[in-house]
Structure 1
Amino acid sequence: MKTIALRFSENFSPEAGTIAAHQQLIESLGYVWYGKLGTPIATKVVEEIMQNEDPKILLINSGKQDRYWANIIEVSRSLPPLNEIPEYYRDISEKFKCWFKVKSFEDAPRGIMSQCFVASSNSRLSEASKHSMSPYFIIIVKEASV
């Protein structure tokens, strides 16, 4: 499966954390929009992700061991309605240039980053992420890992 791995940090999230804040909206709306700061994901890459039988992206908590699969149903470059994104980043929502409509989150298996390979270099994500400041990676995931 080809998808992306996105880094995130808890720098401006509420005390409960990024994933928990998003999960609250999933519980009330059935989905939530997860924003990616900066440059949007290329249209071609988005199309490839959405062609997967079960589209998902890998979320990597920078500096921590937390890894999550975000099961997505849509990707957009337009700002979604503010009530569909967590309250803590509504004031800075214009900084997000790519939005993922998430229907659920699940913990990724331990060692998931060793089972993912960066598409451009075929390096293991676990190694490539140590030596790069890139906010996201296009990855190939071994099917048994998803």
Structure 2
Amino acid sequence: MPYKVTYFNITALAEPIRFLLSYLNIDFEDFRFEREQWPALKPTMPFGKVPVLEIDGKVLNQSTAITRYLSKKAGLAGSDDWLSWADLFFVAILDYLNFMAKIDLLEGRPKLKALKEQVLAVPQIKAWVAKRPADNP
């Protein structure tokens, strides 16, 4: 499998990358590691940071740069009124933000709730959410 996402065993910053790869119907290795493994992995990562996306041996870093690259590939760079990479990014990271804030950030925001439902209804995203690990934010 030529695509590989490397990140901690949580959703957070890597989930928008996973959403976009799923949207693009690109199979990828979802390499998740535990916090205890980070000290050994950190020196091998660009600038000592994750997430990273490896494509055919080439390593891309910085979550926003990776999502912008993938969004252009998916035609989601915001050239029309359809879904944009920012929409996917927002919904992908929302569960983690809710977990960290300990509140539902969408409460009282019906348009954002509708956006979340729209993104999660995309068949490829729906399939990813169904198969991703369910025991972490």
Using the size of structure 2 for normalisation, the TM-score is 0.27
Using the size of structure 1 for normalisation, the TM-score is 0.26
Higher helix content, 1 or 2 = 2
Higher strand content, 1 or 2 = 1
